[in-house]
Amino acid sequence: MSVDPEGKKILVIQTHGVETPNRTYSPLFYAMAAAAMEMEVLVWFTMDGTNQLKKGAAEQVELKPGSGVTLKTMLENAMESEVELRVCQQSLELFDMTTDDLIDGVDILGATSIIDLALNADHVMYF
Amino acid sequence: MSDNLEVRGCVLPLSLHYSVGDHTWIRLEDDGTALIGMTDVAQNLAGPLLHAKPKKVGATRKKGKPVATVESSKWVGPVKSPISGEVVAVNEDVKTDPTVINRSPYKQGWIVRMQPSDLAADMDGLLTGQAAVDAYRERIESEDIKACEHVDGFEI
């Protein structure tokens, strides 16, 4: 019997950054799909994933040559789809980034928050 | 006088009612039900559709809630219902061949049939005729939405 997705919570953890562009598209796409299915969706960026959210970075990543679709497009589409974006506080510091370096629409949370989010999610997807 | 008008090549039948903000249309049927689908603008924005997953028969939806999820290679999102009601029929063709929505967004590509629960109130927020075309033109121009391109066999 299939699970009714409506109202379920999905946590997507993204650990890869702009240096591996092929790994940036699918997590956001799946997040948008879950949001379209009326789930509550949060994408947590940590480790190298942090750099996806740096101002000026995402627009440099064209996901498929000639497509005109950039990582910036995907991030904006995700936020428009009511996918919440969060970044790890400790990862920011590790990469010498501050709040001012982040694109708009991203909240910063500490490490203990990821534990809470994972415990309270219906499902966690790791990338 | 034509039954349809175009904005940047995107066809908008004058007889339908539209939720311009959600890119959906509704056709009121003689039996009191309503057919719901995506507009030509929406299908063009999405690109060739790969999957369409309507809600099941019996699902009750409030206005603005999804009646389907559609996917292309570059976009995935909800088809939001312009009205509140119950899904009484699903177009099985869109599940087996989602490109029917690209090819015939207003005819063969209808997505669900609903039994409205509060039609008078819900229709109040929808536009039809020239008013709908004008509102869509404003949206298309303000968002610089690209001109519609149509696949072979496109029909209104």
Contact assessment for residue B90 and residue A92, using Cβ atoms and an 8 Å cutoff: no
Tokens, residue A64: 């498929």
Query: Taking residues B112-121, what's their average pLDDT?
Result: 97
In a domain, A89, yes or no: yes
CATH code of B36's domain = 2.40.50.100
- Please give the distance of CA B103 from its chain centroid, rounded to a whole number: 13
Burial of B19 (0-12, 13-18, 19+ CB in 10 A): buried
In a domain, B153, yes or no: no
pLDDT tens-digit profile of A66-115? Answer: 888 899 999 999 999 999 999 999 999 999 999 999 999 999 999 899 99
CATH code of A19's domain = 3.40.1260.10
In a domain, A3, yes or no: no
Q: How far apart are CA B96 and CA A25, in angstroms?
A: 26
**Residue in A with minimal Cα distance to B64:** A38
In a domain, B82, yes or no: yes
As for how many domains chain A has, the answer is 1
**Do A69 and B74 make contact, defined as CB atoms within 8 angstroms?**
yes
In a domain, B130, yes or no: no
| Domain that includes residue A31, residue range | 9-126
What is the residue-averaged pLDDT of chain A? 94
Which residues share a beta bridge with B69? B53, B78
Q: pTM score, two decimals?
A: 0.89
In a domain, A122, yes or no: yes
- Please give the distance of CA A70 from its chain centroid, rounded to a whole number: 14
What is the residue-averaged pLDDT of chain B? 96
pLDDT tens-digit profile of B81-112? Answer: 999 999 999 999 999 999 999 999 999 999 99
Question: A67 CB near a chain B CB, below 8 Å?
Answer: yes
Three-state SS at B38: strand
Scan residues 20-39 of A and list those with Cβ closer than 8 Å to B: 29, 32-33, 36-38
Task: For residue A14, give how far its alpha carbon lies from the nearest alpha carbon of chain B (Å).
Answer: 19
| Domain that includes residue B26, residue range | 20-125
Tokens, residue B112: 């669900």
pLDDT of residue A1: 61
In a domain, B56, yes or no: yes
The gap between the terminal CA atoms of chain B, to the nearest Å, is 16
